[in-house]
Chain A
Amino acid sequence: MLAYTLKRLAAAVPVMLIVAIITFMLMHIGSVDPASRIAGELATPEEVEKIRIAMGLDRPLLHQFVSWFGQVLSGDFGTSILNRMPVLDLVGQRIEPTLSIALFTIVFAVALAVPMGVLAAWNAGTWVDHLIMALAVIAFSMPVFLVGYLLIYQFSIELRLLPVQGYKPLAGGVGPYLRHLVLPVVSLGLVFLALIARMTRATMLEVLNQDYIRTARAKGLGNTRILVLHALKNAANPIVTTIGFGIAALIGGVVVTETVFAIPGIGRLTIDAVIRRDFPVIQGVILLFSAAYVLINLAIDLSYALFDPRIRY
């Protein structure tokens, strides 16, 4: 397994390099750069050029790329060309809210979706199945921002139970931390929940029709034992794959959630940087996202061996 892991990590290096090159080129293609935005409407081309020089944007692209990538290799992701803060500091300020939302969303979604999917499969064709699948369709179809607004209206404006917006760090107390996470996690988690519930139901249905399940029933095993130990474990790999894809999709969903709930996370940092053409921040964040994707995929692949003894690395 160690050899396989190292091989996969080595394969990630060219992937990251390609991501870095594509990101860098995309950012520099547009006709608007930060210098012209800062210069204002009265600026002459000469003045815009002076600002561009002061920002280091006048150097040849290749030179800029090599210089930036060299810094990245030494662990320095550069400095924002607008607010002059190191990219890693900006990411550091915002990693906790995003990780908190992502983590709790996964826990919330998996904790509810897997039992729902199993229950639906076990009661396939009954009203329980129909109800769960109808709820899943509704949850999957509603945009995250709409769910967010509805939750804010009900729980913040009407009931005044939870805050509308913002984030409180864990260091400031568990209570405020959790209160600020409830609505973002639920609004983001519903889509994720629906996706996993549907996938769990489908794979469980397939497994429950296998001969060995019939044998287990014939042997007189209890329903819980059959479902959890025999069926769910064998249905786990597709579910884990879906969860993995979902985590990747979460990063996109986090952008919307962070905007609706005014949470200072990585998603908003990325969007703000793109709007303002803050190249070092965009490049740094996307590179970190890519690394996260690679590691998540690797973790999912390695986890297959836990559920299926036939898989060996």
Chain B
Amino acid sequence: MRNRSFTSFIVRSVVTAGIGLGAVSLAQAESVLRFVPHGDLVVVDPILNIDYMARNHGYMIYDTLFAFDSKNEIKPQMIDTWTVSEDGMSYSFKLRPELKWHDGQPVRAADCVASLERWGKRDSMGIAMFAAMESIKATGEDTFEIKLAKPFGHVLAALAKTGSNVPFMMPERIAKTDPFASIEDSTGSGPFYLAKDEWMPGSKIVYKKFADYVPRQEPADFMAGGKVAKVDRVEWTVMPDGATAVSALANGEVDWVEVPPADLLPMLEGNEDVVIRSTDPFGIQTMLRFNHMQPPFNNAAIRKAVMATVAQQDFMQVTSGEENTETCVSFFVCGTRFATEAGAGDWLKAKDVEKAKALLAEGGYNGEKVIVLDPTDDTVPHNQTIVAVANLREIGINVEVRATDAGSLFALAGNKEPESWNLFLTWADATNYSVPTLNNALRAGGEKNASVGWPTNEKIQDLRNQFLAAFDPEEQKKIAAAIQEEAYSDAIYVLTGQYKQSTAYNRQVEGMIDSPIPVFWNISVAE
């Protein structure tokens, strides 16, 4: 007994001494929000790199000219006033006064023009906008104009877009960097700045409040409104192991885990200090994508045979259980403005093996090997791959599964050679797929003008061009529906469902903005 007491005393003394030392440093610290992101920030250039982490980093340190609010309306952000000519072919913009870069220099129209020019060489929407453009130029220190050579109905939407690549504004000297090389200077004009001396790639990214940032007066609303930094410091701690992140949250060592693994959420559910909810108002779509250039999926009947095996509820069951999942037949994300059921018919509601086999026979499938890429470290696509492979084998398709990692998936899928790949499962959030022209998987310009898989469908390409030129929202919706009908008819890719990702945070975290993108303005941490 005596020994136990002594041991206990020693243990408690050591631990208390440690806690005491820790407490001293905390008392002297600034207000800090400790966040565990879903991945690591590998490249700091959100214009070069389409990775979501680069985009999320972009929202920390850069600002945008326009932004969407929660009603999907476009609101000015860095812009003070703007005018559009009656024919919609000419736009002039005036910047808000007192905007500054992190180095103290004023934000100039020339900076914005250079930023847009660089973005216009990397982003699909930017490329389309610049292709329709006659000129873009600064007309004063704080004014610039865009003149179109042909109709383009999405100028403001392109400037407000939230999917990668977001048109973030950078100083002209940085924006002049080759769009195919990474910038090395992270000066922006956003509400936080990157503390580069504290950045430890693969482990920690630190942002500090930018004292000279001038937020808009309107309340924060999705990506629009006043971006008021309410904490002095935001620390992103990279934790490759989800179990560690969840344990750290339960133990109060971090404030917010962006993507806690679904199977570990029960660990947190009984914890009164932790809130678990989805902050994504729209959701994430999951999908099965084909290689249209190689047999057997260069044949629409065989692609449809695969589509006939898909019952979305089966795929959602292995995605996030029954909670937070839904069946969705719209290629443009259910719950958003272009969502439609056009062309869906009975597809994706129930698995129809007989129909699938009949379509295989119609397509003349003769046992060619189908190579499925399986990103084993990405839980949702990996789980869905298991279901898809079972379905394919059930209808007699000869399947070979090739394991890979999530980061290599699209690089491997970029290989057009025979026997490189035929099919993979992946996901995309609403910021990228809710608009027909942003939905990369529906680009159908073949080898030269499509995302990996390289579908070829002239009708879809014509409709996309019509969509780009359309100014009227109702006309845009009609074109979106027509695109979807053709996408089902040609089985461009197969939707396997839609779900909302839960996030978990300490109850002390207040003011979190509902968005698929974790943003840190408006957030405070109660004492």
User: Which positions in A face B, CB cutoff 8 Å?
Assistant: 31-33, 36-44, 47-48, 50-51, 53-55, 80, 82-85, 90, 93-94, 149, 152-153, 156-157, 160-166, 172-176, 178-179, 259-262, 264, 268-269, 272, 275-276
Residues of A within 8 A of B237 (CB): 166, 262
Interface residues on B, range: 35 or more
Give residues 217-268 of B contacting A (CB, 8 Å). Answer: 237-241, 243-245, 247-248, 250-251, 253
Question: Given A41-B413, A175-B20, A275-B405, 4 more contacts at CB 8 Å?
Answer: A54-B180, A149-B243, A160-B251, A264-B203
| Closest chain A residue to B254, Cβ basis | A165
* Chain B min CB distance to A264 (Å): 3
Determine if A175 and B410 form an interchain contact, defined as CB atoms under 8 angstroms apart. no
12 contacts between A and B (CB under 8 A): A31-B411, A36-B411, A38-B49, A42-B124, A55-B181, A94-B203, A156-B251, A161-B11, A164-B251, A269-B202, A272-B40, A275-B407
Main secondary structure of the interface of A (DSSP, over half): helix
Determine if B248 and A165 form an interchain contact, defined as CB atoms under 8 angstroms apart. yes
* Chain B min CB distance to A31 (Å): 7
Give residues 124-176 of B contacting A (CB, 8 Å). Answer: 124, 164
Select A90's contact among B201, B241, B414, B415, beta carbons within 8 Å: B201
| Closest chain A residue to B449, Cβ basis | A44
Determine if A32 and B244 form an interchain contact, defined as CB atoms under 8 angstroms apart. no
B336 interface contact, C-beta 8 A? no
Known: A51-B181, A83-B201, A179-B15. A36 touches B414 (CB 8 A): yes
- Shortest beta-carbon contacts, A-B, top 7: A264-B203, A175-B21, A54-B181, A175-B18, A40-B50, A50-B180, A36-B411
Distance of A44 Cα from B452 Cα, bound (Å): 10
Residues of A within 8 A of B164 (CB): 40
Residues of B within 8 A of A152 (CB): 244, 247
Distance of A50 Cα from B14 Cα, bound (Å): 57
Determine if B244 and A176 form an interchain contact, defined as CB atoms under 8 angstroms apart. no
Known: A84-B182, A173-B25. A262 touches B42 (CB 8 A): no
* Chain A min CB distance to B404 (Å): 9
Distance of A33 Cα from B415 Cα, bound (Å): 12
Known: A42-B451, A44-B448. A162 touches B15 (CB 8 A): yes
Distance of A85 Cα from B184 Cα, bound (Å): 10
Determine if B248 and A262 form an interchain contact, defined as CB atoms under 8 angstroms apart. yes
Select B452's contact among A41, A85, A179, A269, beta carbons within 8 Å: A41
Distance of A262 Cα from B40 Cα, bound (Å): 13
Distance of A132 Cα from B496 Cα, bound (Å): 54
Residues of B within 8 A of A262 (CB): 203, 237-241, 244-245, 248
Determine if B412 and A259 form an interchain contact, defined as CB atoms under 8 angstroms apart. no
Residues of A within 8 A of B20 (CB): 175
Residues of A within 8 A of B181 (CB): 51, 54-55
Determine if B17 and A175 form an interchain contact, defined as CB atoms under 8 angstroms apart. yes
Determine if B414 and A161 form an interchain contact, defined as CB atoms under 8 angstroms apart. no
Determine if A157 and B251 form an interchain contact, defined as CB atoms under 8 angstroms apart. yes
Residues of B within 8 A of A43 (CB): 414
Distance of A201 Cα from B50 Cα, bound (Å): 57
Distance of A94 Cα from B202 Cα, bound (Å): 11
Select A40's contact among B17, B49, B408, beta carbons within 8 Å: B49
Determine if B244 and A51 form an interchain contact, defined as CB atoms under 8 angstroms apart. no
Distance of A165 Cα from B43 Cα, bound (Å): 25
Known: A38-B43, A178-B18. A165 touches B200 (CB 8 A): no
Determine if A259 and B241 form an interchain contact, defined as CB atoms under 8 angstroms apart. yes
Determine if B253 and A163 form an interchain contact, defined as CB atoms under 8 angstroms apart. yes
Residues of B within 8 A of A38 (CB): 43, 48-49, 51, 182
Determine if B180 and A51 form an interchain contact, defined as CB atoms under 8 angstroms apart. yes
* Chain B min CB distance to A255 (Å): 11
Distance of A44 Cα from B414 Cα, bound (Å): 9
| Closest chain A residue to B54, Cβ basis | A38
| Closest chain A residue to B416, Cβ basis | A45
Q: Which among B14, B19, B180 has the greatest number of chain A C-beta atoms within 10 A?
A: B180
Residues of A within 8 A of B253 (CB): 163-166
B376 interface contact, C-beta 8 A? no
Residues of B within 8 A of A44 (CB): 448
B31 interface contact, C-beta 8 A? no
Distance of A292 Cα from B328 Cα, bound (Å): 56
Residues of B within 8 A of A94 (CB): 200, 203
B317 interface contact, C-beta 8 A? no
B204 interface contact, C-beta 8 A? yes
Distance of A36 Cα from B48 Cα, bound (Å): 12
Residues of B within 8 A of A82 (CB): 42-43, 182, 201
Distance of A166 Cα from B238 Cα, bound (Å): 10
